[in-house]
Structure 1
Amino acid sequence: MKLQRRQVLSLAAGAVSFSALPRSAGAQAYPTRPVTLYVSYPAGTATDLTLRTLASATEKHLGQPIVVENRPGAAGVLASQQIATSAQPDGYSIVQVPLTVFRAPFLRRTLYDPAKDFSFIVGVTGYVYGIVVRADSPFRTFQDLISYAKAHPGKISYGTNGPTSTQHVAMLQIGRRFGIDWLHVPYKGGNESINALLGGHIDAVADVTVWAPQVDAGQLRLLVTFGAARTRRWPSVPTLKESGFDMVATSPYGLAGPRALDPAVIRTLHDALRKGMDDPAFRATMEKLDQEPWYLDSEAYRAYAMAEIAAQKRLVEEFGLRQE
């Protein structure tokens, strides 16, 4: 049967509209199910508490639940490596990317390339690092500790949560800057190193604020912090920069997905997370945990990552930290 010209045009127009519909609807549909946020450290840690609060604050803007799953291991690298190598680029699996993810490929063989295998979404925050000693220690200031360490090579021992951790690398840099030969004692975690310090087995601990309760209780003395400015909680404690070493070490982190994530999905996630970061509950959690917001949009976070990858490569080579 012959179709009239008007019927042909009508059918053609309908076909165009029908073929365009799924793409438009698909782009607008994300997300249609819960998003899983993989946290690189155990439940109950400051990182975990921060990101759980952010997930809760972000859900109402995203329109779907954000399920937090802890995937600790390999000094914070395990979760990111698994996302980079096995997650689908559909926006339903995102991960916290700690600084160790940028350092690890230069320390040992990894299954991912940090410059190629992530879609960077948003920068979130960093940590407060500091050096603490026992309250009865003769070292009342950071300068006291440095002076004694210089005069007595190899006599001062300090604990961190492991070799090639951010704390360890920072202490190597401090040692080189001041010409100090001191002894690094690695522990499995902050609680172990704090117990060792309280027990008199080591002289100092360099770590994130796992030491905060003991500092506030008067059991430990905080000598210096590693941020760009003094903390709100301990405003009398100087920074490294004020103490003669122009270095800031906050180990900032952000959130990313696997490579090839659709730019529209990245934008949706970024916009929702940005609103979540402005939520009063998230701001209150940050203040309670002595953290400062470190917001970077997707492009700025990617640019930071590329620069930091190069910087970590230089540090590993400078201090001969390669483990293979």
Structure 2
Amino acid sequence: MAMKDRAQAGATSPERRRLLGAIAAAVAAGPAGVLAARAQPGGAASGSSDTRFPVRPITLWVPWPAGGATDLTMRLLADLAGRQLGQKVIVENRSGAGGTLAMPILQQAAPDGYTIAQLPHPALRAPHIQKVLWDPIRDTTPIIQISGVTFGLLVPAGSPLRSFEDVVAFAKARPGELTVSTNGVGTTPHVVMEELAARRGFSYVHVPYKGTSEQMLAVASGQVTMGINSNGFAPFVDSGRLRLLATLAEHRNRRWPNVPTLKELGQGVVATSPYGLVGPHGLPPAVVATLHEAFRTAMHAPAHVAELAKYDQELDYLNPEDYGRSLRESYAAEKRAAERMGLGRGG
């Protein structure tokens, strides 16, 4: 009798049939579908498309070593955004390959908003100078642009090189002896050095490092002649262990007003390497909006602004639409630059 009652209830309840149909569709869609169904208000599934997000922690991939300047600022940002979202934003590091190792993760991640990553500028350059299986435009969904970085040319405090012209003269007088460290092949510092060497007609030995801290220690100890890096060099300069020869920004840095820019030295180079957050391709607009609002609030929080200031960074906010446009423009510009400098895969 009980079985007959259940069958009759199922046959006479349109709402129950809709509920069962939604659950079946979610199961057919796999784990992501089940999660979406569970996230809907009022139970396992409902006819509403208004889903709750997030319902579990979010993973933010940072393609730089733990403990570095970018990692520290991103961890603070993640904590602040998590408070807005009501769920933890957990930072995971995957360093190496010039800051591009989060891209394969995004390419394979489900477009549900629970896997996002910092997108550094080198990811827009790498496909033009080496073979990769991912595309920074095709395989991502822009969420928000956050900031840019301050790059500098640095030598040991006791180095006889006191200007960029001294570096050029040294390289020309002693071919093969100028060693220059960067944070990886294809990164902005590496490309800048290639352009400077081509313009001024000198050669150098490239020494790539995975992270800022080990690179700056190598420069300070004299293991390399000069280093080019961002953000994390400030404590080494302020403590007197490194000498800052020039910066790569549009204007002089307020922290070191006596240090010239490469642009004002007549080298025609300006580099700030803006970065932001992206998700996998196909991220639903509602999820993008939720993440964007949380991180927009977080990035403007006084604590985050103060943390950026430690590394001479300022906010450089762009919404998803403008950030996407900027990424496409930069991607095309990097292709032209690689071809012009002979860094292309065919060059």
TM bucket by the smaller chain?
0.7 to 0.9
Q: Which residue of 2 aligns with 1:4?
A: none
From the superposition, tell whether residues 13 and 132 of structure 1 become closer, same or farther in structure 2 (CA, over 3 Å): closer
1:248 aligns with 2:287: no
From the superposition, tell whether residues 287 and 323 of structure 1 become closer, same or farther in structure 2 (CA, over 3 Å): same
Moved over 4 A (4+): 11-16, 19-26, 147-155
From the superposition, tell whether residues 67 and 194 of structure 1 become closer, same or farther in structure 2 (CA, over 3 Å): closer
CA drift at 1:87: 0.7
From the superposition, tell whether residues 72 and 148 of structure 1 become closer, same or farther in structure 2 (CA, over 3 Å): closer
Instruction: Pick which of 37-46 and 194-203 moved more.
Output: 194-203
1:30-77 CA deviation, whole Å, 9 max, x = no partner? 122221111111211111111111111112222222111112232221
SS of alignment partner, residue 60 of structure 1: helix
CA drift at 1:29: 1.1
d(CA) in 2 for partners of 1:159, 1:102:
21
CA drift at 1:26: 4.5
Instruction: Identify the match of residue 204 of structure 2 among 183, 189, 214.
Output: 183
Amino acid at match of 2:103: S
Amino acid at match of 1:49: L
> Which ranges in structure 2 are unaligned for 5 or more consecutive residues?
1-12, 23-39
Amino acid at match of 2:62: V
TM-score by length of 1: 0.86
d(CA) in 2 for partners of 1:292, 1:319:
30
SS of alignment partner, residue 102 of structure 2: helix
1:76 aligns with 2:79: no
Could you say what the CA RMSD is over the residues aligned between the two structures, in angstroms? 2.9
d(CA) in 2 for partners of 1:196, 1:51:
25
d(CA) in 2 for partners of 1:136, 1:300:
45
1:187-244 CA deviation, whole Å, 9 max, x = no partner? 3244444344344443221112443233212232101011222223222212122221
**Is contact 2:97-2:185 (8 Å) kept?**
no
From the superposition, tell whether residues 152 and 70 of structure 1 become closer, same or farther in structure 2 (CA, over 3 Å): closer
1:99-123 CA deviation, whole Å, 9 max, x = no partner? 1211222222222122211100000
1:232-285 CA deviation, whole Å, 9 max, x = no partner? 322221212222133321221110011111111111111111111111111111
From the superposition, tell whether residues 232 and 15 of structure 1 become closer, same or farther in structure 2 (CA, over 3 Å): farther
d(CA) in 1 for partners of 2:129, 2:194:
16
Q: Which residue of 2 aligns with 1:299?
A: 321
TM-score by length of 2: 0.80
d(CA) in 2 for partners of 1:42, 1:188:
11
d(CA) in 1 for partners of 2:119, 2:226:
28
Q: Which residue of 2 aligns with 1:238?
A: 260
From the superposition, tell whether residues 24 and 64 of structure 1 become closer, same or farther in structure 2 (CA, over 3 Å): farther
Amino acid at match of 1:187: P
d(CA) in 1 for partners of 2:46, 2:117:
27
Q: Which residue of 2 aligns with 1:57?
A: 80
From the superposition, tell whether residues 13 and 266 of structure 1 become closer, same or farther in structure 2 (CA, over 3 Å): same
d(CA) in 1 for partners of 2:249, 2:203:
22
d(CA) in 1 for partners of 2:96, 2:157:
33
**For 1:114-125, what aligned pairs fall within 5 Å after superposition?**
114-125=136-147
Q: Which residue of 1 aligns with 2:312?
A: 290
Q: Which residue of 1 aligns with 2:240?
A: 218
**For 1:136-155, what aligned pairs fall within 5 Å after superposition?**
136-146=158-168, 149=171
Instruction: Identify the match of residue 229 of structure 2 among 202, 207, 216.
Output: 207
d(CA) in 2 for partners of 1:209, 1:135:
18
CA drift at 1:151: 6.3
**Is contact 2:147-2:275 (8 Å) kept?**
yes
**For 1:80-91, what aligned pairs fall within 5 Å after superposition?**
80-84=103-107, 86-91=108-113
SS of alignment partner, residue 83 of structure 1: helix
Instruction: Identify the match of residue 95 of structure 1 among 117, 121, 144.
Output: 117
Q: Percent identity?
A: 42
Aligned residues: 312
1:98-153 CA deviation, whole Å, 9 max, x = no partner? 11211222222222122211100000112211001222333323344345546666
From the superposition, tell whether residues 32 and 248 of structure 1 become closer, same or farther in structure 2 (CA, over 3 Å): same
Instruction: Pick which of 149-158 and 201-210 moved more.
Output: 149-158
SS of alignment partner, residue 164 of structure 1: coil
From the superposition, tell whether residues 92 and 138 of structure 1 become closer, same or farther in structure 2 (CA, over 3 Å): same
1:228 aligns with 2:250: yes
SS of alignment partner, residue 233 of structure 2: helix
**Is contact 2:96-2:184 (8 Å) kept?**
no
**Is contact 2:181-2:209 (8 Å) kept?**
no
**Is contact 1:154-1:181 (8 Å) kept?**
no
Amino acid at match of 2:208: Y
SS of alignment partner, residue 252 of structure 2: coil
**Is contact 1:125-1:291 (8 Å) kept?**
yes
